[in-house]
Amino acid sequence: MALSNNLTAILNLIAFLCSVPIIASGIWLAAQPDNECIHLIRWPVVLLGLLVLVVSLTGFVGAYWYKETLLAFYLCCMAILIALLLILLVFAFVVTRPDGSYDVPGRGYREFRIQGFSPWLRNHIVNSKNWGAIRACLAETDVCSRLTSRYLSADQFFAGHISPLQQTMTSKRGEDWKAEEDKNLCNSWVTISEDGNVGVNRRQSKFWDRVDMQFRVNDPNTTCTIKTMVNRMSTISKLCKFWN
C-alpha cells in the first residue's frame, strides 16, 4: 500500500509541475495581441492547466498523507476524465472518418467535397460564425503563402503533394461550380463594380445583393446563394493572385 501511494504521489507531483508551464502558456497567449488563432485557444489552455493542477495536487496530498477523502475525490475525477477522453476519441473518429476526398486524374493530391464530410462537421464548418473565425485564423498564418514560394509553375502545383488544408484553400468551397457559372459570376461582379450607382466600395451587403440579381438575370435557375458567391469569388481572387 505504501509503495502504491508513494508512486501515485510521485506521478501526481510530476503532473502538478507540468501544469505550471501549461498555465503560464495560457497566460502568455492571453497577453499577446488579439487575433482569432489565439482567441480560440488561450482560455482553454488556461482552463486545462488549472484542472491538471487541482486534480494532481489533490492526488498528491491524498496519496502522500493518505487522506482517504482526497483519494476518493481524485479517483472519481480520474474516472470521469478517462470516460470523457474515451468519448472524445470515439466522437472525433466518427465525425472525421468520412473526409470527402477523391482521386482526380493528373493531380498529385486528392480533391475534397464538403458534402463528403460528416453532417456534424459539415454544419459547423459552413456555419458563418464558425467559418469566419477559422478563416480569420488561417489568414494570419502562412499556410497559403508558402504555396507561391514552393510551386513556381502550374505543373509543379498540380503534381505536388499538398496538405488537405492547402488544397481546400485553393479549390472550390461549398457547392461545385462549373466554368459557365464562374464566368457568369465574374461578369456580374465586374458589371456591378463598374456601376457608378453601386461600386465595389459601397456597403458590401448592397453590393452583393446587386451581384446576385445580375447573376440570376443570366442564370434564372441557379441554386447559388449570396454566401456561396462571396466564397467562390474569394477563391477566384486568391487563385488569380497565385498565378500572377
Q: CA 133 to CA 89: how far, in whole Å? A: 24
Residues 30-45: tens digit of each pLDDT:
777 666 567 667 888 8
Distance in angstroms (rounded) separating the CA atoms of residues 127 and 131 = 6
> What is the model's pLDDT at position 17?
92
The low-confidence residues of the chain, meaning pLDDT below 50, are: 172-175, 199-201
Q: What is the pTM of this model?
A: 0.55
Cα radius of gyration rounded to whole Å, the chain:
26
Give me the pLDDT at residue 205, please.
56
Instruction: Tell me what pLDDT residue 209 has.
Output: 81
- Alpha-carbon distance values, 239 to 17, 113, 141 (Å): 48, 18, 17
Report the pLDDT value the prediction gives residue 200, as an integer from 0 to 100.
Answer: 46
